[in-house]
Amino acid sequence: MTTARREATRRKLYEAAVTLIAEQGFSATTVDEIAERAGVAKGTVYYNFASKNDLFEELLRHGVGRLTVSLRRAAEETSDRGGSRVDALDAMIRAGLAFIVGNPSFTQLYVAELWRTNRTWQETLMTVRQEAVAVVEQVLGEAVTAGEVSPETDVPLTASALFGMVLVAALDWQAFQPERSLDEVHAALSLLLQGRVGGGAGATAPA
């Protein structure tokens, strides 16, 4: 099997697995069901992955990896246009929201797995999460260095908070306020970023 063909097959298996697991849970989802949903033979699943656990672990790497690429690309494109580091953070917020809108089932699984401690892939999940947060942390650190953000900013904690804010806000939006547009949600989070983290002129000091 060629590399391109194998990657296409793995993507089909990822999509089938994430959909089924979101619908009925990890334990209830079988390899047979994943193969059937992906339109491949059961043996194809085991050709690409040693087990269902291995498939799910790679699924987490794949999904969070795509999110990380989206965040990094948003920051780089902003920089190429001459934008500030806070502008780059704002672009990353929008990129994160767009990713979540496009991958709701994966996002639900990801958030659910963050709260579990008995999974064999827990270490992998923490590693890929940190890789995504590190992209935000790097840009935020650059913003501090450039004087765009207060030097008193706790960069690691604030980066994690921004990452978590996007996840929670997006899930809440999709579940309880689906009538809102991406532009509306981004505008609200952008105002929070620009006014508080970015130290915008319109910010008011907390009581």
pLDDT digits (tens, 9 = 90+) for 152-180: 999 999 999 999 999 989 989 988 999 99
User: Of 154, 9, 180, 156, whose CA–CA distance to 97 is shortest?
Assistant: 180
CA–CA gap between residue 38 and residue 142 (Å, rounded): 43
Question: What is the reported pTM?
Answer: 0.85
Query: Using one digit for the tens of pLDDT, what is the confidence trace for 20-32?
Result: 988 888 889 999 9
For tokens 């008011």, name the residue. 204
Q: Taking the domain 52-198, which CATH number applies?
A: 1.10.357.10
Q: Where in the chain is the domain with CATH 1.10.10.60?
A: 1-49
Q: Taking the domain 1-49, which CATH number applies?
A: 1.10.10.60
DSSP string, 139-159: HHHHHHHTTSS-TT--HHHHH
